[in-house]
A = this chain, B = another copy of it.
């Protein structure tokens, strides 16, 4: 299967970098730390901006947090960057045969179970803040 996009881990990286740097941070600087193309960084920062997590100084550049690192959780970042259909992590096949007892019920029954599993994961993500993360860098 395909893993969840590294866009997410890169977003955490970006926010961590902004959090621990006293002055403002340019996209090119972040790109060097992440070791990727600056455009990739800008795209992710665009999502973070739209979500109100960061802002960027126009013209001269430089990103900064709009929320305290103690108040940004891994779930916040996940939700920002991992745009997904109906916010459902699990895809469920549709158009099953309604003439069959399984086909008639599988979608609803399974979707409810899978949503619970997804919630369990998201709940765990919500337990960790950006500041807890950056505290572990040495």
Contact = CB atoms under 8 A, between A and B. Distances in A.
Contacts of A114: 9
Contacts of A17: 100, 102
Contacts of A134: 102
Interface residues of A, number: 62
Interface in A29-72: 32-36
A31 to B, nearest CB: 10
29 contacts: A1-B4, A3-B88, A3-B89, A3-B90, A4-B90, A4-B91, A8-B91, A9-B90, A9-B91, A9-B106, A9-B107, A12-B106, A12-B110, A13-B102, A13-B106, A33-B103, A34-B97, A34-B103, A35-B93, A35-B95, A35-B97, A35-B103, A74-B113, A105-B136, A106-B137, A109-B133, A110-B133, A120-B123, A121-B121
